[in-house]
Amino acid sequence: MKKNDVRHENALINVQKMLGYHFKRTDFLQQALTHRSYSALHNERFEFIGDSILNYSVAKMLFQAFPRLTEGELSRMRANLVNQDTLAQIAAELRIGDALLLGSGELKSGGFRRPSILADAMEALFAAVSFDADFNTAEAVVRRLYAERIRHINPQDSGKDAKTRLQEGLQARHMPLPKYRIVDQIGEGQDQQFVVQCDLGETGFQTEATGHSRREAEQQTAQTALDWMEKHFPLAKTRKK
């Protein structure tokens, strides 16, 4: 087996591990990760199904998590969770880019990092799971990937999570974006915990948090940084006429 083939096989194994689902038919997995630039048997039709699975699953999670919110409020929250940026973030966390099959042009232009390509592959994967198993299994995968994001939503702030609100708050103040880094990993397997630092750069403020995943720790440390920023750098309130 060639070196590139071995690397791709390892990437496929890692994707399945991160998804929490092992494919019986790896051809479904392969097609979900195949861009149109690589083969005529690509993932665009899978996206069509995956988009529906994603929207239904996230809508149901929000419906259950926020019983007092209106349809409009739930719709806005869902839109923030299923957009290209969020899907690309999840794909990056799962290292989907390592497993993508791209044509030479897309490879040279960094297609494995392009948000649109990562987001499309993520939706295609949800469809692939449903084809390999069933809808309920695909929904379970979505629920696993989105559980922490929904847990950290502030419904009073249009459903945006702490990292998003911190980023937008810094931009509104014309300040550099935060930098996150893992400073420690404790334990193994299900007991593993991540210690993540959030650095607000020129302000000199740094904070750390511990979570059972990198995502959870980042959200917690972002919330602390957000609270500090709003206290020390309040935005001027617009006067009502």
Residues marked as binding for Mg(2+)?
Answer: 47, 120, 123
Decide if 123 is catalytic.
Answer: yes
Catalytic residue among 5, 9, 44, 51: 51
191: annotated active-site residue: no
What are the contacts of 48-52 at 24+ separation with CB within 8 A?
A: 48/127, 49/126, 49/127, 49/130, 49/131, 50/122, 50/123, 50/124, 50/125, 50/126, 50/127, 50/128, 50/130, 51/82, 51/123
Choice among 9, 98, 123, 216 that is catalytic: 123
**Residue 236, CA distances (Å) to 54, 101, 113, 239 in order:** 39, 49, 37, 9
Residues contributing to the annotated binding site? 47, 120, 123
Given a contact cutoff of 8 angstroms between Cβ atoms, the answer to whether 49 and 133 are in contact is no
Who's near 176: CB < 8 A, 6+ residues apart? 170, 200, 201, 202
Question: What is the Cβ-side half-sphere exposure of residue 198, based on CA atoms within 13 angstroms?
Answer: 28
| Separation CA 190–CA 79 (nearest Å) | 31
Identify any residues that bridge with 147 across adjacent strands, giving them in sequence order: none
Sign, CA torsion 68/73/74/77: negative
Annotated active-site positions, please?
51, 123
